[in-house]
Amino acid sequence: MHIYPAIDIRGGNAVRLLRGDYSKETVYSLNPVDVALKFKKAGATRLHVVDLDGALEGELVNKDIIKKITSNLGMFVEVGGGIRSVSRINEYLAAGASRVILGSAAVEDEGFVKDAVKFFGDKVAVGVDALGGKVAIGGWKTITDIDAYDFCAQLREGGVRTVICTDISKDGALEGTNLEAYRKLVKIKGLRVIASGGITYYEELEQLKEMGVRGAVLGKALYDGALDLSKVVELCENAG
The pLDDT score that the predictor gives to residue 140 is: 79
pLDDT digits (tens, 9 = 90+) for 216-226: 999 999 999 99
CB-CB contact of 40 with 73 (8 Å): yes
Name the catalytic one among 51, 53, 129, 167. 129
Cα(77)–Cα(35) distance, rounded to whole angstroms?
Answer: 13
Q: So what's the pLDDT on residue 138?
A: 84
Q: Report the chain's terminal Cα–Cα distance, integer Å.
A: 11
Q: How many CB atoms lie within 10 A of CB 23?
A: 6
Q: What's the confidence (pLDDT) of residue 173?
A: 83
8 is catalytic: yes
Which pLDDT belongs to residue 239? 62
**E strands along 52-107, which residues?**
76-80, 99-102
- Its CATH class, for the domain covering 2-238, is alpha beta
Q: What percent of the chain has pLDDT over 70?
A: 99
**pLDDT one-digit tens code per residue, 114-131:** 999 999 999 999 999 999
d(CA 240, CA 230): 16
Residue 228 among the catalytic residues: no
The pTM assigned to this predicted structure is: 0.96
Query: In terms of Cα–Cα distance, which of 113, 62, 103, 59 is closest to 80?
Result: 103
Selecting among 8, 51, 167, 171, the annotated active-site residue is 8
Domain borders along the chain are 2-238
